[in-house]
Each structure stands twice: as C-alpha cells, then as structure tokens.
Amino acid sequence: MSEIRALIVDDSSVMRKIVERTLRQAGLDPLVVCEAGSGTEGLELLKTRQVDLILSDINMPSMDGLEFLRQIHAQNLAPGVPVVMITTESSEEHVKQAIQAGARGYIRKPFTAEQVKERVLPLVHPA
C-alpha cells in the first residue's frame, strides 16, 4: 500500500495526536503526518507540501475550519485532495455548511476508529 500524506489541522496538539493515532488504527499505514495549529498555518503548509488527505477541526481561533476550507479552494491549494472535518459541531446545518464549503466528509468528536475507517478510507483508497 502506498504512503498516505495527511495534514491534520487542530488548535489542540493533543487532538492532533489522537487523530493521527486513530488514522493508524483505522488502517492508514504507512502514514506521514504534518500538523497545523490553525487554518492560517494549514494554508501556509499547503503552499509548500503535497498531501493526499486533509483533516480539520472547525472551531479554532484566528481562522476557523470552514474559512480554511474556503481558502483552500479560493487559492486552489491541494486541488482534488479530500478534506474531512472533525469537530464537536454536529448539527445538520454545520454538516451542510461544511459540504457546501467543499468538505468530502464529516466526523463528530468524540469518534471511534471504526467511524474514521468508514469515512476516511474510501476517500484515500477508492474502490
């Protein structure tokens, strides 16, 4: 299986580590992770690095996940790369906003490895 390069954007360093661990538990291995603590930092990283998958929190200071998602598309960074939102916000409206902004998946915190496997794996290993 080829290496998966993932960008994890979350203002919590603990959450970034949990997401990385869960991705590995879900079967994304070998996995190379780069991390960003905000949407702004995530955009800067995408200007210099190529990734296969982006996972982003929504509720972050300075630039939230939805704006990060809009900026990825507006600046044509990471074209075609699937973005999955991982967030505590769970209403239908939030999911709709994320999908409208270009998200390909949505996972609510707290989450299980099974949920991550179900929603992320098909995006990086299409059938």
Partner 1 sequence: MLLNGVRKAAIANRREGGEIEMEPGMAVSLRESLPQVSDPRNLDASVEEVFQLMLGVQCRRDGAPAARDTESVTAVVGFGGLLSGACVFSSNQATALEIAALMTGMEFHEIDDTVKDGIGEICNMLAGAWKGKVPELAANCGLSVPAVITGRDYRLHVQAPEFQLHHLYRFKESSFDVTIVCDGLQ
If one asks whether residue 119 binds partner 1 (CB under 8 A), the answer comes out as no
Number of helices followed by number of strands (H, E) in the chain: 5, 5
111 touching partner 1, by CB under 8 A: yes
Gap between the Cα atoms of 19 and 99, Å rounded: 20
Nearest-angstrom CA–CA distance, 111 and 87: 9
Please give the Cα distance from 113 to 103 (Å, whole number). 20
- Two structure tokens written together for 88: 């505590």
According to the binding rule CB under 8 A, does residue 109 interact with partner 1?
Answer: yes
Using the rule CB under 8 A, which residue among 30, 75, 112, 118 binds partner 1?
112
Q: Which of 4, 7, 11, 124 binds partner 1 (CB under 8 A)?
A: 11
Is 104 a binding residue for partner 1 by CB under 8 A? The answer is: no
Is 40 among the residues that bind partner 1 (CB under 8 A)? Answer: no
Contact yes or no for 22/113 (Cβ under 8 A): yes
Site residues, partner 1 (CB under 8 A): 11-15, 17-18, 21, 58-61, 64, 66-67, 87-94, 97, 108-112
